[in-house]
């Protein structure tokens, strides 16, 4: 087995780099609702490749609806494996979406999604064992990732998934905690978080748990839009119940415009940024949600750069141009 950060190589184009035991500069690529296998997905991919250049992608996340329309084998072949061959040397971590679930069962962990992707269920990569591939966690350097199933698993506050998530998030001692799942708690894009049950329940039930554990960033797809919130805390109702008191920082988080968002290490309810990044294969119209600093109807993907106690987040469009950015610093 390769040691930490050692390259294991079978050919010039096929290799992987094992996760580091110590913090290191880390680049993470994030795509949402990417599985259409269409020209837009290819353009978003190429835009990211133009942006990242020779910088290695350490890992990447898929936010669900990784294969359209019903998550069949052929759809994964076209939407994932043929679309992203260049990322064969970067470890992929996936969340299940409602379209993936068209041919898969979270209860039985069966179907193409669960046969193709094999996340850690026993804490093999850090975190508390979940016992299921539907939701899981892992560590990479000084980052803890929590992946939830917002569609096929029990979303009740006392159910297995959120009971596990509360324990897992609370015991992590990493500098950063990033959660991701498919259905966004806040959106006014092609879906509405005020009216749709999966979105409402994740907001009402998952967010208090994660915010109490100090989670820094929550990533979702489902809406085919890019929406990025302020640094907020404590908003669990409909959009008309959001108040300025729920903002931990009313600025942009951009160092060149105001200042980076600042958070103390390990503090509960110190603020979280919520991002909808569902435009990796389609962009629909979006209206402003009051928690959002930025809302865009532009194809693109998300880039996360972690260096020590600094997190830079960049939204890159299908031409490789930066369309939104912000920074969070821990102190």
**Tally of structural domains, the chain:** 1
Asked if residue 68 belongs to a domain, the reply is yes
In contact, 275 and 229? CB cutoff 8 Å = yes
Show the DSSP H helices in the chain as ranges: 39-52, 73-76, 112-116, 160-171, 197-201, 207-212
What was the pLDDT predicted at 14?
A: 79
What was the pLDDT predicted at 47?
A: 98
Asked if residue 8 belongs to a domain, the reply is no
Q: Of 219, 247, 194, 191, which Cα lies nearest the Cα of 313? A: 219
Asked if residue 170 belongs to a domain, the reply is yes
- Return the exposure string of 101-125: e unless at least 16 CB atoms fall within 10 Å of the residue's CB, then b: bbbbebeeeebbbbebbebbeebeb
Asked if residue 13 belongs to a domain, the reply is no
DSSP-derived secondary structure letter, 19? P
In contact, 34 and 192? CB cutoff 8 Å = no
Asked if residue 164 belongs to a domain, the reply is yes
Which helix (H) or strand (E) is 268 found in, with range? none
CB count within 10 Å of CB 200 equals 19
Q: 297: buried, middle or exposed (CB in 10 Å: 19+, 13-18, 0-12)?
A: middle
What was the pLDDT predicted at 202?
A: 98
Asked if residue 197 belongs to a domain, the reply is yes
In contact, 29 and 90? CB cutoff 8 Å = yes
Mean pLDDT, contiguous 10-residue spans, the chain (331 residues)? 43 80 95 98 98 96 98 97 89 97 97 97 97 98 98 98 98 97 98 98 98 98 98 98 97 95 96 98 98 98 98 98 98 87
Tokens of 181: 């799942």
CATH number at residue 223: 3.60.21.10
Asked if residue 10 belongs to a domain, the reply is no
Q: Is the dihedral of CA 214, 220, 223, 227 positive or negative?
A: positive
Tokens of 113: 């999604």
- Return the exposure string of 140-177: e unless at least 16 CB atoms fall within 10 Å of the residue's CB, then b: bbbbbbbbbbbbbbebeeeeebbebbbebbeebebbbb
Asked if residue 16 belongs to a domain, the reply is no
What was the pLDDT predicted at 180?
A: 99
DSSP states along 181-236 = -SS-SS-BSSSBTTT-HHHHHIIIIIHHHHHHTT--EEEE-SSSSEEEE-EE----
Q: Of 196, 253, 242, which Cα lies nearest the Cα of 223? A: 196
What was the pLDDT predicted at 88?
A: 83
In contact, 82 and 35? CB cutoff 8 Å = no
What was the pLDDT predicted at 11?
A: 61
User: 240 phi and psi, to 5 degrees?
Assistant: -75, -5
DSSP-derived secondary structure letter, 116? H
What was the pLDDT predicted at 269?
A: 98
The boundaries of the domain holding residue 122 are: 24-330
* R_g of the chain computed on alpha carbons: 18
Tokens of 34: 């990417």
């Amino acid at each position: 087995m390769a040691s930490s950060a050692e390259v294991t190589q079978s050919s010039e184009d096929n290799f992987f780099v094992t996760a580091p035991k110590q913090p290191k500069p880390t680049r993470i690529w994030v795509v949402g609702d990417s599985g259409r296998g269409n020209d837009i997905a290819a353009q978003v991919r190429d835009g990211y490749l133009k942006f990242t250049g020779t910088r290695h992608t350490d890992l990447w996340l898929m936010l669900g609806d990784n294969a359209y329309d019903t998550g069949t084998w052929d759809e994964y072949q076209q939407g994932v494996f043929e679309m992203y061959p260049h990322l064969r040397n970067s470890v992929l971590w996936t969340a299940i979406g409602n379209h993936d679930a068209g041919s898969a069962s979270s209860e039985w962990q069966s179907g193409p999604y669960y046969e193709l992707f094999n996340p850690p269920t026993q804490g093999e990569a850090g975190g508390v064992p979940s016992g299921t591939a539907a939701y899981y966690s892992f560590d990479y350097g000084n980052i803890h990732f929590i992946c939830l199933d917002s569609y096929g698993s029990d979303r009740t506050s006392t159910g297995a998934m959120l009971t596990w998530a509360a324990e897992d998030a609370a015991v992590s001692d990493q500098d950063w905690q990033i959660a991701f799942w498919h259905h966004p708690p806040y959106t006014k894009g092609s879906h509405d978080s005020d009216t749709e049950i999966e979105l409402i329940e994740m907001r009402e039930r998952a967010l208090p748990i994660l915010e109490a554990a100090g989670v820094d960033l929550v990533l979702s797809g489902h809406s085919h839009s890019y929406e990025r919130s302020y640094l907020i805390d404590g908003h669990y109702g409909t959009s008309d119940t959001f108040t300025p008191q729920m903002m931990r920082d009313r600025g942009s988080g951009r160092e060149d415009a105001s200042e980076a968002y600042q958070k103390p290490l390990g503090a509960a309810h110190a603020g979280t940024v919520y991002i909808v990044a569902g435009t990796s294969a389609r962009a629909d119209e979006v209206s402003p949600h009051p928690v959002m600093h930025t809302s865009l109807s532009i194809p693109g993907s998300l880039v996360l750069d972690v260096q020590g106690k600094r997190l830079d987040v960049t939204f890159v469009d299908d031409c490789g141009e930066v369309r939104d950015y912000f920074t969070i610093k821990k102190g």
